[in-house]
Amino acid sequence: MKPYKTPISALVLIHTLDLQVLMMERADKAGFWQSVTGSVEGNETPYQAAVREVFEETGLDATQYDLQDWQVSNVYEIYPHWRHRYAPGVTQNCEHLFGLELPGKLPIKLAPDEHVRYEWVDWREAAKRVFSWTNVDALKRLGERHRLSL
């Protein structure tokens, strides 16, 4: 039996200098677009989980670019259809937010069991596509960091 997921995760907003954001469509939910996200494993820190998840989901080595811990975390209710992945009674997750700035759009190697396609889109368009309010929050924060607004 696969161990339960830890209800602590990292969300990594991958973007270019001109605020083009990497969006990926989930393999298990057609039409659900998101940034890189994943749970902490073992004794990992959220930062270590961010580096691992970026590599697993995109093939990029986050340590080679500007990965920043935005020192923000959001607690949210885990969608009922994903709760079976967590220990009984676990209903909330604490998600830590990171930004990964790339010099430009890079080719991405998707994990086919997680995502079916990706696109680079303007950060405002990305905010319209994502299904998670924490992902919208991350995109707003990206705009604010560059003194822009939705």
Q: Is residue 2 part of a domain?
A: no
Contact between 16 and 106 (Cβ < 8 Å) = no
pLDDT for 2 beyond 80: no
Q: How far is CA 2 from CA 53, 59, 87, 96, in A?
A: 18, 24, 11, 24
| 3-state SS class at 53 | helix
Indicate the number of domains in the chain: 1
CA–CA gap between residue 145 and residue 26 (Å, rounded) = 27
Angle at CA of residue 150, ends 25 and 80, nearest 5°: 40
Q: Is residue 20 part of a domain?
A: yes
pLDDT for 142 beyond 90: yes
133: left (phi over 0), alpha (psi -120 to 50) or beta: alpha
Who contacts 107 (Cβ-Cβ below 8 Å, separation ≥6)? none
Tell me the average pLDDT of the chain.
96
| Prediction pTM value | 0.95
**50 is in which domain, residue-wise?**
8-145
SS3 content of the chain, % helix, strand, coil (to 5): 30, 35, 35
Contact between 8 and 15 (Cβ < 8 Å) = no
Q: Is residue 3 part of a domain?
A: no
Q: Is residue 126 part of a domain?
A: yes
Mode of pairing for the β-strands spanning 8-16 and 92-102:
parallel
In CATH, what number is assigned to the domain containing residue 91?
3.90.79.10
What are the pLDDT digits (tens) for 20-78? 999 999 999 899 999 999 999 999 999 999 999 999 999 999 999 999 999 999 999 99
Q: Is residue 53 part of a domain?
A: yes
Alpha helices in 59-122 (DSSP H): none
pLDDT band at 148 (very low <50, low <70, confident <90, very high): confident
